[in-house]
Amino acid sequence: MLAKHLSAVVRAMRPRHWLKNGFVIAPAVFAGHALHAPAMLRAVSVAFAFCLVSSAGYLVNDVLDREADRNDPVKRFRPVASGEMSVTAALLWGALLYVLAFAAALRSGRNVLLLLVGYVVLTLLYSLLLKAIAVVDAMALATGFLLRLVAGAVAIPVTISQWLIVCGFLLALLLAFGKRLPEADHPGSRSPSYPQSYLHDVVTMLAGVTLVAYTLYTVAPDTTRKLGGSNALLLTVPLVLFGIMRYLLLLHREGAQDPTATLFRDRPLLVTVLLWMVVAGAIVYTAGGAR
């Protein structure tokens, strides 16, 4: 009985979505601190705190959405919606995860704790109110990723590139609107209603703008200065282009509702992301960005 309950808790925490908290580690990597153990330890501890706090947010969201989820062909299998986990148990586990998250980030400094509080407030507002407001829902999700980026930079500490912030926000916004595209024909009772044509236009626009922003980031004076005057990071643009185009293909062909699941399911996309990480990491260190 206990094993079954714990299994339900783990599924409700959605650990595969912890991959999103890699945004916390990104500033350390692009600043050349990936091989600096103390800096990476701080970044990883903050990323772990965001993993716990995001899982707590999922539990709260599942409680609020339980009636709507029961009418969804996929979400009805979530532990709270299916009745496998009670509302009380979900809220208690959520409270425990919040406490553990702040305990994990306690040594990271006041600014990180404030950003974590901001993230908690944002996710609660999203679950209670913002997710039902068109456009605002996607902006709120993207802002959550922005807070992760800033928290990762503050934890090191390191000055984060403005272009990296722009790229991260635009990518998160692209994924947020892309997630809405398969839901357009059957929005939930607590989800905004978007016309298909509008979502197609917005996703296409964001895909192009994200690519342009990343390209500008690779050749920005701040970036090339950190790489010893080299603009070699420009070589990773084709990988980003392919990744975005592949995601758009999956989105229109298969209705890729969950970006995380899509990443692990689609081998070309997964290989592209891994290859980008390897190439970008190698450039950072061989071009003089290592510390």
* b/e map 21-34, b = 16+ CB within 10 Å: bebbbbbbbbbbbb
Structural domain spans, the chain: 18-29+37-160, 170-291
For 52-108, what is each residue's pLDDT tens digit? Answer: 999 999 999 999 999 988 988 888 999 999 999 999 999 999 999 999 999 999 989
Q: What CATH homologous superfamily does 18-29+37-160 map to?
A: UbiA prenyltransferase (1.10.357.140)
- Identify the residue whose tokens are 């990723």: 145
For 110-164, what is each residue's pLDDT tens digit? Answer: 999 999 999 999 999 999 999 999 999 999 999 999 999 999 999 998 888 899 8
Both tokens of 91, joined, read 């809220």
Question: What is the rounded distance in angstroms from the CA atom of residue 255 to the CA atom of residue 181?
Answer: 7
The whole-model pTM stands at 0.90
pLDDT band of residue 204 (cuts 50, 70, 90) is very high
Look over the chain and give the mean of its residue pLDDT values, rounded to a whole number.
90
Both tokens of 104, joined, read 């994990």
